[in-house]
Each structure stands twice: as structure tokens, then as C-alpha cells.
């Protein structure tokens, strides 16, 4: 969860990393008493995420800095739009500038990419043979655990800002039986259905169990074991449709594997409930934001 404590800890660590012994450029060039104001400006279209993190970075550098947001997380912005104003001691403004921008640019990049995938899902309804998902009103775009170490709370929050949803936060949140688990169990003579039933006996009654399958032949075993979600990994469109038919609403259907903006509408049109996209966090491009000096 992206709490104030998590934000504070992260921005303080980033400031310490960037200026462990102070900002020698500012100390050599800027008078200690100088005051100034700057504006956070968008250089391109995007979706905002991390405006509170932006403010926290300046606040951690010097609580006397004022940050005045002009936009909320989840809102879209255009090139040239003023997103926030900051005012305070010039030395501290310049010292915290890069840390504040690094967080906000990356988070907004994730939110922007997520929004593009969510928009792509909406295009599915216009495709011939479109089938609505069973579990939700519209197919969900979700993230994965392919996040930057130490920054998962920020990146998963940014996905939500872009209109997406979070998959499990970490290994402690839900059972997810993947191909390597299945292979290891097979070595012990345990089939997939038996493994799922065994897991069900070991975990609490509220624990969700997801199973990854890489072929249609594994779906009956996953259903027989009582999986709550079945992930169709790297399935063709035809096999995805067949998988949705086989599952027939008895489990949530998730599609995964090399999802692109071009491919997502057709995948969503098969009737899957969820599409997981690792690229939201592992291949994102930071949005171009700048801090423009006002006075």
C-alpha cells in the first residue's frame, strides 16, 4: 500500500542517495537566503500519478517549501499544462527537483500506459464476435509482480491511477500455481487437480487460488481441482476462445503473455475476464515533465 510512511521513507532514501553530503553546486552558487518559485509543466499528453509523492520529496528536503498541485492523480493532462507550483528556498528547490521529478515522471508513465491499455479494451466491443466477460462488466487490465525492486507500492498505485487493477501484491497475498510449480509436483507424482485440492486444505477459506495453464488439456484438471482463477498463458486467440468456453464461468479467466496495445482488443473480445500486462511496469517510459522557473 502506498501510505504516507512508505512515501516518506522512499523519498528520504532517494534524497540521501542523490545528495549524501549536500548539493555542492547550490551551496557554491545560490545565496542561502534566496527564495524562488517554479512550475511543474507537462511536455506531452499523459495521466497524472504521484502528485503527492512530488510534494513529499520537496517536503522531506525542507518542510518550508510550499507545493500547490493543480491536478489530481488519475486526471489526464496536455502538453504545456501547469500541473503544480512550488515555492521556497531556492537551494532546496533545486536539490529536491530531480528526485521529485523521477518519481512523478515514472509513475505518470505507468498511469499513461495503463490508460492506453484500458482504452484498447474498450475497442473490443466493436469487433465482430465480441463476447462480454462473465466476472466483470468489462475485461480488466491488471499488473504483475514484474516491478522495480523497492518501488512496487508506487508502481501498483500508478496502475490504478491509469484505470487498471492490481493483481496480487506479493507472494503472501494469494496462491498462484505456475508452470514450474506444476513441473515440480509432477516429479512427485502429484497431478494438477490433486495439487489444487491439497492447497485448498492447507490455506484459509478466503485465500484465492489461481492456476496457470499453457494448454487446453490442463483446463479440466484445473476445474476439477477447484481453481478460482485460471490463467491462459500465451494462448492463441482461437485457443483463448475455446478456453473461455471450457471454463464456462466456473472460474475467472485471465489471459497473459506478451500483451501489446495492438493485440489487446482481440484478446478482450474472446470474453476473458482479466488481461495481465507485465509491460505496465517493466517496460514503461517515463513521461516528460519539467520544472520551469517562474522567478
- Positions annotated as catalytic residues are 98, 146, 178, 212, 233
The answer to whether residues 74 and 48 touch, using CB atoms and an 8 Å cutoff, is: yes
Q: Which residues of 254-275 are buried (b: 16+ CB within 10 A; e: fewer)?
A: bbbbebeeeebbbbbbbbbbbb
Contacts of 131 (CB under 8 A, 6+ apart): 241, 244, 269, 270, 271
C-alpha cell of residue 90: 531556492
What is the chain's length?
295
Which residues does residue 244 pair with via DSSP β-bridges, in sequence order? none
User: Which secondary structure element, helix H or strand E, spans residue 177, and what is its range?
Assistant: strand 175-177
What is the number of helices (H) and of strands (E) in the chain?
11, 12
The CA distance from 25 to 14, in Å, is 18
C-alpha cell of residue 220: 479440466
The CA distance from 116 to 95, in Å, is 33
User: Is 86 strand, coil or helix?
Assistant: strand
The CA distance from 39 to 21, in Å, is 27
Pairing of strands 140-142, 274-276: parallel
The answer to whether residues 42 and 80 touch, using CB atoms and an 8 Å cutoff, is: yes
Amino acid at each position: 500500500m502506498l501510505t504516507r510512511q512508505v512515501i516518506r521513507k522512499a523519498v528520504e532514501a532517494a534524497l540521501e542517495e542523490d545528495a549524501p553530503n549536500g548539493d555542492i553546486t547550490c551551496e557554491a552558487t545560490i545565496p542561502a537566503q534566496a527564495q524562488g518559485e517554479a512550475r511543474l509543466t507537462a511536455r506531452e499528453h499523459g495521466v497524472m500519478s504521484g502528485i503527492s509523492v512530488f510534494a513529499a520529496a520537496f517536503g522531506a528536503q525542507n518542510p518550508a517549501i510550499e507545493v500547490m498541485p493543480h491536478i489530481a492523480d488519475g486526471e489526464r493532462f496536455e502538453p504545456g499544462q501547469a500541473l503544480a507550483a512550488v515555492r521556497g528556498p531556492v537551494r532546496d528547490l533545486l536539490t529536491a527537483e530531480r528526485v521529485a521529478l523521477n518519481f512523478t515522471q515514472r509513475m505518470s508513465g505507468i498511469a499513461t500506459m495503463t490508460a492506453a491499455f484500458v482504452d484498447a479494451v474498450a475497442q473490443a466491443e466493436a469487433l465482430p464476435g465480441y463476447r462480454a466477460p462473465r466476472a466483470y462488466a468489462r475485461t480488466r487490465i491488471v499488473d504483475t509482480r514484474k516491478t522495480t525492486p523497492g518501488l512496487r507500492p508506487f508502481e501498483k498505485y500508478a496502475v490504478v491511477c491509469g484505470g487498471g487493477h492490481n493483481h496480487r501484491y506479493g507472494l503472501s497475498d494469494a496462491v498462484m500455481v505456475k508452470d514450474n510449480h506444476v513441473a515440480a509436483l509432477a516429479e512427485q507424482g502429484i497431478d494438477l487437480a490433486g495439487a489444487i485440492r491439497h492447497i485448498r486444505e492447507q490455506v484459509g477459506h478466503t485465500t484465492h487460488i489461481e492456476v496457470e495453464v499453457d494448454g487446453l488439456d490442463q483446463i479440466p484438471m484445473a476445474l476439477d481441482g477447484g481453481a478460482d482463477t485460471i490463467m491462459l498463458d500465451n494462448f492463441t486467440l482461437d485457443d483463448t476462445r475455446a478456453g473461455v468456453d471450457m471454463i464456462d464461468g466456473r472460474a475467472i479467466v485471465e489471459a497473459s503473455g506478451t500483451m501489446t496495445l495492438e493485440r489487446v482488443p482481440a484478446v478482450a473480445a474472446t470474453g476473458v475476464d482479466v488481461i495481465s500486462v507485465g509491460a505496465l511496469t517493466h517496460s514503461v517510459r517515463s513521461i516528460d515533465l519539467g520544472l520551469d522557473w517562474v522567478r
